[in-house]
Amino acid sequence: MNQTKLKLPIKMGYGLAETGITAVQLFTQIYLLKYYTEIVGLNSSLAGIALSISVFWDAVSDPLMGRISDHTHTKWGRRRPYILLGGILLSLAVLLLFSPPPLASQLGKFVYLLTVYLFVNTAMTIISVPHIALGGELSFERNERTSVFGWRLFFSNIGMLIGMIVPAAILQSLGDESTKENIITSRTLAGEIVSMVILVSSVITFFVTRGKDNTRNHTEQKIPFFAAFSSILKNKMFLILLFAFIIATIGRTFNSAIALYYYEYRLGLKESIVVINILLPFFLILILSIGFWVWISKKVGKKIPAFLGVFGLGVLTVIAYPLFPYGELRPPLIVAFVGGICAGSILIMDSILTDVVDYDEFKTGEKREGLYFGIWKMGVKFSQAFGIALTGFLLDAIGFQNGAPTQSADVGFRLAMIFGPGVGFFFILGSILFLFFPLSDEKHIQIQRILLKRNTKTSKL
């Protein structure tokens, strides 16, 4: 097992693919629902159904992709070939997503969105599951793993900035932000840029991690897929971590999907102002906070910092967003600063999952990173599907009028309650559940020592 300190270019090269992956995710989470409901003219509920079905398929396919990559043996490694293939396919899929042909009927619009978004999510599965699994295998040393996932989160936030800012910046440069023609142009051009980002970043990661994707010294899984899947779901330690993260992810999905609605119809702020003056500072602070969370997890362990970060974000969200005055920028900017610091704690969760994989190897003697991370991503995407579908139905339920230039004060208040207490509730609940996670740092260190001795003996045979 690799306990040597990884060189910085390897960590950065590994994390770079997350730039494109996250750019696609945020581009679609923030802009897709609003684009298809207000520009393409698809009914909100139908749009929510199409997106949730696609994400549901994405979730179901994740464990299968993890299993496939666990069993792949090529001269290029077992994860890297899929990073390259998935990057190429995802690049093509994004181009199609924001360039729909003229469609008159609701059925035609629904079918197109469903078909293309299924393609997007299939490509996303092919690249993202092997990529995150590779991150858990680059090093066996626990602090190095936290550093690896810190770089992954760093580039993830670069991707967030691209997926968030590029569409708004293009729209702002076109002049009138309210015309349908300018919105279509901005989304099409942004799709082309995001497509190039995912292609370039995945190719670079493929080459930089050459030689680090070893297929040697990995025990083959001897049990069938469904039996292996079932055994992982019986791991109570994993389930606590998974459900805590799923619940928090529902809150994140609500936040992303409804953000532009909230800022425009509750606070009266234009898209470009929101993206550049609120969301951009949030993600910049998040990026800067990563080093702090890596440092503090080394000093005091992983569990308490992860809990405090997510819990603090939840409390802040519940209290702040319903209280912001109309048309003022400073209050949400201050909250974005504090929230960005809290949100940086999310990197610890992925790092803790690698500890659970070590525990599973200790108990079973098998290395199942791909399957574990596949199920992890499946759970996250189920929560995203639920959040997206519920967002579409909630917009209808609160009386939101698609295509209307203004909304009633009651609709604005209801948006604030969803964006504030609605989102914050899931952050708080997820953080409280995480407190029951039983694997301590001391126990994990003992497990790693046993695994190191076991694998050293095996390599000598």
Taking only the tens place, the pLDDT of each residue in 95-106 is 999 988 888 899
Among residues 30, 323, 367, the alpha carbon closest in space to that of 167 is found at: 30
Q: Is residue 81 part of a domain?
A: yes
pLDDT of residue 30: 78
Q: ∠192-196-199 over CA atoms, to 5°?
A: 140
Tens digits of per-residue pLDDT, 396-452? 888 887 766 778 888 889 889 988 998 899 999 999 999 999 888 788 888 878 877
Residue 326, domain CATH? 1.20.1250.20
In a domain, 1, yes or no: no
Residue 122 lies in a domain: yes
**Residue 73 placed within a domain:** yes
pLDDT, one tens digit per residue, over 311-361 is 999 999 999 999 999 988 889 999 989 998 998 887 777 778 888 888 888
User: What's the confidence (pLDDT) of residue 456?
Assistant: 65
Q: Is residue 291 part of a domain?
A: yes
Please indicate, yes or no, if residue 3 is contained in any of the structural domains.
no
Q: Is 2 among the domain residues?
A: no
Q: Using 50 as the pLDDT threshold, list the residues of the chain that sit under it.
A: 1-2, 216-217, 461
In whole angstroms, what is the distance from residue 287 CA to residue 290 CA?
A: 6
Spatial neighbors of 21 by CB under 8 A, at least 6 apart, are: 90, 124, 127, 128, 131, 156, 159, 198, 201
130 falls within a domain:
yes
Radius of gyration for the alpha carbons in the chain, expressed in angstroms and rounded: 22
- Please give the residue range of the domain that contains residue 52: 8-460
**What angle separates helix 303-320 from helix 330-343, to the nearest 10 degrees?**
160
Which pLDDT score, from 0 to 100, does residue 290 have? 81
State the total domains in the chain: 1
Q: What's the whole-model pTM score? A: 0.70
Whole-angstrom Cα distance, residue 115 to residue 148? 35
